[in-house]
Amino acid sequence: MAQILIVDDQKSVRATLQITLSRAGHTVDEASSGEDAIQRVDSTLYDLVLTDLKMEGADGLAVLEAVKARDQDTEVILVTAFGTIESAVTAIKRGAHDYLTKPFTPDQVLHAVDLALERRRLRTEVRTLSRRLDDPNDPATIIGESERVRRVLEIVREWAQSDSTILITGETGTGKDLLARAIRSMSPRKDRSYVVVNCATIPDNLFESELFGHVRGAFSGATRNRKGLAQEADGGTLFLDEIGELPLEVQPQLLRFLETGEIRPIGQNRSMRVDARVIAATNRDLGGMIARGEFREDLYYRLNVLPVELPPLRERKDDVARLSSHFVERYAKRLGRPVLEVSKRALLVLQTYEWPGNVRELENVIERGVMLAKGTELRPEHLLMPGRFGLDGTAASSNPAGSLEDVDEISGDLLSLPEVERRHILAVLKACSGNQKKASAILQISKSTLWRKLKEYGIEASRLGPPPPSIEA
């Protein structure tokens, strides 16, 4: 289903095209002159414009130019009378997709329109695909033998087949991103676009436009038409990551989209249908946020149709062994090293640690371990975890299970955990001269989590720099 504009000064031609295209299920607008068309593309995001070449005043080439100036991705098909092929060729050179010669049959029109729309779809997909190829974790392989993870996988395999919204919850690093990708690749939409919106990194005032798009002139700075990320996901999957960070002002629009399947770009007076499967994820306690008035309850129920919770790693220690060898293999290969054996004692250390950063932290510890290990075995001294070994490799505790005797006395105030976290994050950032990438690697949290936390601490936006990219696939 596409949004199409027909431009022709002959009423009969418009009528024929209108019938043919609406029968095929498209939403069709008509313009009776080039000027009229140019006005319309200013207020509506079209997928395709079908325009007559020869018209009084603004002709087909002028329409083509106006369309492409607003949105390169809108396809244009020129309609020419016999004998004006030369101008049609000029049009193709300037970015038109195709031309139709009058007189034409309905089949010829539908064929040309299908090809143009297919080209538009492929172009979007190539963009997301090239990002996907960069993804080191692709394909999304989820390792987990524990009862709880097996149950999660069993249930999402079934849910993946439907189009209902899935809400993934779980602490940081438990694999929510990975699971969302896995659901998508088990779903019938696996070959269609996968658009990731990281709600933590989009500035509040740009949210609506990022998600739902805008037409030129909708607000100051909107110099071109822009498709929103929701529309980019049409036919595919839309992953709303860190949904707990979605600004309250945008929540009603998202709710409307989930309820009706329709979006309305800013400045466009008509809604349009978008067929996207929504998966959302968060490590925040949405229930608590609702109680504090920070998250809409009605939106929560719309998102929480199929809820899935990823358990923290400390509650599924039987996964540690398999995950460890999985990561050892991955990093040995990546570093060009022979695959190491995880020693029995090393495994005991890994299994007794509490993993506050969950699987991500385990992955980081193993990566560093593989770099440090010189022989054929990964041993306890290669495993650098806070509280066990200092970063210089000196043992802080020789007892993997930990005991109170080993803990240092606190000299200053007794601080809350969030305050310790805040101070520690800022200290690490300072030690890295403000380099967020380095700091997030040391802290073993994602760049977007770091960015969000700094925002929470009120670090000025200008010092935070641009947020990490919001689309990936």
- Residue among 404 and 417 whose Cβ is closer to ligand ATP: 417
- Residue among 177 and 363 whose Cβ is closer to Mg ion: 177
- Pick the binder of ligand ATP from 110, 115, 142, 372 (CB under 6 A): 142
Q: Min. distance of Cβ 137 from ligand ATP in angstroms?
A: 4
Q: At 393, which amino acid appears?
A: G
The token pair at 107 is: 């089949």
Cα separation values, 51 from 24, 29, 54, 103, 262, Å? 18, 12, 9, 14, 27
**Per-residue binding letters, 172-211, with ligand ATP (x by CB under 6 A):** xxxxxxx---------------------------------
- Angle (deg, nearest 10), helices 344-352 and 320-334: 120
Q: At 392, which amino acid appears?
A: D
φ/ψ bin of 247: left (φ > 0), alpha (ψ from -120 to 50), beta (otherwise): beta
Indicate whether 399 belongs to the interface with ligand ATP (CB under 6 A). no
- Pick the binder of ligand ATP from 36, 98, 234, 363 (CB under 6 A): 363
**What is the footprint of ligand ATP within residues 301-340 (CB under 6 A)?**
323
Q: Min. distance of Cβ 270 from ligand ATP in angstroms?
A: 36
Contact stretch for ligand ATP (CB under 6 A) within 51-59, 135-143, 263-271, 427-435:
135-143
Residue 104 near residue 77, CB atoms below 8 Å? no
Contact stretch for Mg ion (CB under 5 A) within 58-66, 174-182, 375-383, 460-468:
174-182
CA 183 to chain centre: 14
- Pick the binder of Mg ion from 36, 177, 232, 363 (CB under 5 A): 177
- Residue among 29 and 177 whose Cβ is closer to Mg ion: 177
**Runs of H (alpha helix) within 134-269:** 147-159, 176-186, 207-212, 229-232, 251-260
Number of residues forming the site for ligand ATP (CB under 6 A): 19
Contact stretch for ligand ATP (CB under 6 A) within 28-36, 117-125, 166-174, 432-440:
166-174
- Residue among 246 and 359 whose Cβ is closer to ligand ATP: 359
Nearest-angstrom CA–CA distance, 152 and 30 = 50
Nearest-angstrom CA–CA distance, 455 and 446 = 14
- Pick the binder of ligand ATP from 446, 453, 454, 473 (CB under 6 A): 446
Nearest-angstrom CA–CA distance, 47 and 39 = 16
- Residue among 75 and 363 whose Cβ is closer to ligand ATP: 363
Indicate whether 137 belongs to the interface with ligand ATP (CB under 6 A). yes
List residues bridging with 3 in a β-sheet: 27
Nearest-angstrom CA–CA distance, 6 and 23 = 15
Q: Min. distance of Cβ 473 from Mg ion in angstroms?
A: 14
Contact stretch for ligand ATP (CB under 6 A) within 66-74, 118-126, 165-173, 400-408:
165-173
The token pair at 92 is: 């193709």
Nearest-angstrom CA–CA distance, 418 and 158 = 38
Q: Nearest 10 degrees: CA dihedral of 11, 13, 17, 20?
A: 110
Nearest-angstrom CA–CA distance, 85 and 79 = 10
Query: Which residues in this chain contact Mg ion in the complex, by CB under 5 A?
Result: 176-177
Query: Which residues in this chain contact ligand ATP in the complex, by CB under 6 A?
Result: 137, 142-144, 170, 172-178, 283, 323, 359-360, 363, 446, 449
